[in-house]
Chains A and B, each alone.
Chain A
């Protein structure tokens, strides 16, 4: 019985990790006042580039780095258009999604149907074999530890550092922040690049750990769910962590229900995570008292006055 629950928990973690990584990146972006809807596109490019480079160089690590780089490169395009040209962020984010899904297909075309050995979970002799906690605490994929560290790091950065405070104030009111002498555009550029790196990393996780192959459409809306998670978490990093695990759990629940054939059509179960997202967003908004916790300048372009 313990083995059963342990294996369920392990699969929940594998489903939650990419959501967590991508959502933390987007959290930083949105805290700086920028709404980048292109997470799905950056994730897809991260997945295909990561897989392609890992296959070509026969090195998973190089693949992961390439995935991160690809996510950052795409986010740079977004930054150029939204920061440099002050274009509408929603439209630019959609453009990024469309562009990313297309590019991912182009990059991955030659690699459809090939598979690689997944990046293995770490193994510490002795510790990983401990009963109960051994595998959960000491035998996870390196990405899991990275995602936890990222959650703690982002929370610490926003709450405890001077740079985090500047970033938050820029997101709350970019005009005041500018008047105080803070570098609005430079901070936002760095935030967008960080978001791109996280989305690329999450994508690389999908194609190098989660499924170990590349197929078109493999991101399956995870980028959008990551965006929803940020709202669901009321822009709080540790709640993003909680949310990612709830949604990871919902995904796994749905898969197990499919396998157990409950008599429900499989499509109804597949739709469950999306409907759950909507319900979660409604519930969290209903419970909210007073003003929205969204950063005040979220989604608005900033043109420095001269």
Chain B
């Protein structure tokens, strides 16, 4: 017995956009089975995970807060993934962005008011991430080293660097020996959007990033080059797009956006540096990018779905004593389902008995 893939003719863009929804449904069923296997009620889990947050205005704010860094990172990843380049080190670029971006807010702790600090910090954060994204790109272009492995290895280096800084030179001397930096002054943090709750201006930055990315990909020569490089590399070469410059640009942009996400997280909701500022956002954003079908608008939707699983996961841990790893498992299943659903919109599946290929 074997599976045979038969290409479908005329797949509408609506069918393609609906594929992630089917994937979510399939993942929900599998996730429910795992919950049942863990000896809990899948329906109760579904309620806590997905329904409660959507009916609670407080939780909606929280979802936007969690979706913010995911949108920013995932829109950056689009530049790489669309060009068939594999930046899987966004987590590291995020951390380096947070480190670079924190230099000025930390230097101005105790000062009166300095409104220039926040924009400068955001810029430095993006530059830090861009620099860290540049490393795998230049190594690939110059020496042909796998960008997948280099960008991933650099994640560990970034984590250890942050760990060193907050336990060593940047530790708050008045912090009772906790490994944290001093808390930033209020002028160095992103303003809140509502008088109550934690929603901060980061979501606006995220939406701007998505809008600009949509524009760049669909309305500029550079964006066209990125898409051609990914879909038809030979055509891209013949039409004179410089693959090396494209590689570096895609990595610098996606690293820069991951770095921006890092400093937005720090100035938006954490307010200081500590050993763990991300908890895997850079990896989760990969799922978001695919769930959004590598499209900026889709990514906003995907980020909210993933934010829902994260928020729901925290609630389920408290209410149902379900382990946090369940969320990660669910996210992995979801990414598999998205990939499978994508394939099933391109191909029709036929089961053939007998001969194998």
Complex CA gap A105/B167 in Å reads: 28
The dominant DSSP class at the B interface is helix
A228 touches B149 (CB 8 A): yes
Given A84-B3, A98-B331, verify A267-B143 contact (CB < 8 Å). Answer: no
A98 touches B332 (CB 8 A): yes
Of A11-19, A178-186, A205-213, the segment with at least 4 beta carbons within 8 Å of chain B is A178-186
Of A57-65, A135-143, A281-289, the segment with at least 4 beta carbons within 8 Å of chain B is A281-289
Please tell me if A167 contacts chain B, counting CB pairs below 8 Å: no
Please tell me if B109 contacts chain A, counting CB pairs below 8 Å: no
Of B125-133, B260-268, B340-348, the segment with at least 4 beta carbons within 8 Å of chain A is B340-348
Query: 0/1 per residue, A205-238, Cβ < 8 Å to B?
Result: 0000000000010000100100110010000000
B323 touches A106 (CB 8 A): yes
Please tell me if B305 contacts chain A, counting CB pairs below 8 Å: no
Min Cβ gap B284→A in Å is 8
Which chain A positions have C-beta within 8 A of B154?
274, 278
Min Cβ gap B227→A in Å is 16
Given A224-B149, A227-B149, A292-B144, verify A96-B160 contact (CB < 8 Å). Answer: no
A99 touches B164 (CB 8 A): no
Within 8 A of A (CB), among B253-296: 283, 286-287, 290
Given A281-B145, A282-B143, A304-B357, verify A87-B153 contact (CB < 8 Å). Answer: no
Given A85-B5, A186-B356, A275-B157, verify A91-B290 contact (CB < 8 Å). Answer: yes
How big is the A interface, by class?
Answer: 35 or more
Cβ-closest chain A residue relative to B287: A98
Cβ-closest chain A residue relative to B341: A85
Which chain B positions have C-beta within 8 A of A224?
149, 152-153
The dominant DSSP class at the A interface is helix
Min Cβ gap A258→B in Å is 13
Please tell me if A109 contacts chain B, counting CB pairs below 8 Å: yes
B148 touches A37 (CB 8 A): yes
A85 touches B339 (CB 8 A): yes
Within 8 A of B (CB), among A34-92: 37, 41, 77, 81, 84-88, 90-92
Which chain B positions have C-beta within 8 A of A103?
325, 329, 332
A98 touches B160 (CB 8 A): no
- Interface size for B (C-beta < 8 A) is 54
Which chain B positions have C-beta within 8 A of A105?
323-325, 328-329
B86 touches A90 (CB 8 A): yes
B286 touches A94 (CB 8 A): yes
Query: 0/1 per residue, B137-176, Cβ < 8 Å to A?
Result: 0010001111011101110110011011001100000000
A92 touches B339 (CB 8 A): yes
B156 touches A184 (CB 8 A): no
Given A87-B342, A88-B339, A98-B283, verify A183-B164 contact (CB < 8 Å). Answer: no
Taking each of A106, A268, A277, which has the highest tally of chain B beta carbons within 10 Å of its own beta carbon?
A106
Within 8 A of B (CB), among A226-261: 227-228, 231
Complex CA gap A189/B187 in Å reads: 57
Cβ-closest chain B residue relative to A294: B146
B332 touches A285 (CB 8 A): no
Please tell me if A101 contacts chain B, counting CB pairs below 8 Å: yes
Which chain A positions have C-beta within 8 A of B167?
267
Min Cβ gap B251→A in Å is 15
A90 touches B148 (CB 8 A): yes
Which chain B positions have C-beta within 8 A of A277?
149, 153
Please tell me if B335 contacts chain A, counting CB pairs below 8 Å: yes
Please tell me if B330 contacts chain A, counting CB pairs below 8 Å: yes
Please tell me if B327 contacts chain A, counting CB pairs below 8 Å: yes
Min Cβ gap A299→B in Å is 9
Interface residues of A (CB under 8 A from B): 37, 41, 77, 81, 84-88, 90-92, 94-106, 109, 178, 183-186, 216, 221, 224, 227-228, 231, 265, 267-268, 270-271, 274-275, 277-278, 281-282, 285-286, 288, 292, 303-304, 306
Closest 3 CB pairs of A and B: A99-B332, A105-B325, A102-B328
5 contacts between A and B (CB under 8 A): A81-B343, A96-B336, A98-B287, A99-B332, A186-B357
Interface residues of B (CB under 8 A from A): 2-6, 34, 38, 86, 88, 139, 143-146, 148-150, 152-154, 156-157, 160-161, 163-164, 167-168, 283, 286-287, 290, 323-333, 335-336, 339-340, 342-344, 347, 349, 356-357
